[in-house]
Amino acid sequence: MHYEGTGRGSETVYKINPRVSQEEIEKKVESEKLTTVNICRTILALFYGSALREEVDFYVTTTSRSRRNYHIKVNTHTLNSIRRLI
């Protein structure tokens, strides 16, 4: 899911929901053991490995049921950082 940021500038922010991501991946790869925890760890490894800064380039929110959502600000800096890692 993505939504436009308000306030400073016109940044676009994407929300990554690990549970939805797991469901979509399981449709394509049936025989692999996949958990929401694995998805969360992979997302954080991508963010930290790309040298993105928490609360500046991305942030994490928690739902009332303790599920996490990851939000990444899409701009030139974040795209270049992730591209260098990949």
Q: Which element (helix H / strand E) includes 6? A: none
- In this structure, whether the domain defined by 2-85 belongs to CATH 1.10.10 is answered with yes
Query: What is the pLDDT, as a whole number, of residue 4?
Result: 53
List the domain boundaries for the chain: 2-85
**What pTM did the predictor assign?**
0.79
Query: What is the pLDDT, as a whole number, of residue 33?
Result: 83
Q: What distance lies between CA 56 and its chain's CA centroid?
A: 14
Q: Which two tokens stand for residue 58?
A: 């991305």
At position 67, the amino acid (one-letter code) is R
Query: What is the pLDDT, as a whole number, of residue 59?
Result: 94
For the chain, 86 residues long, give each residue's pLDDT as a single digit of tens.
545 554 555 678 899 999 999 999 988 887 778 899 999 999 999 999 999 999 999 999 998 888 999 999 988 888 888 888 87
Q: How many CB atoms lie within 10 A of CB 20?
A: 14
At position 26, the amino acid (one-letter code) is E
Query: What is the pLDDT, as a whole number, of residue 2?
Result: 46
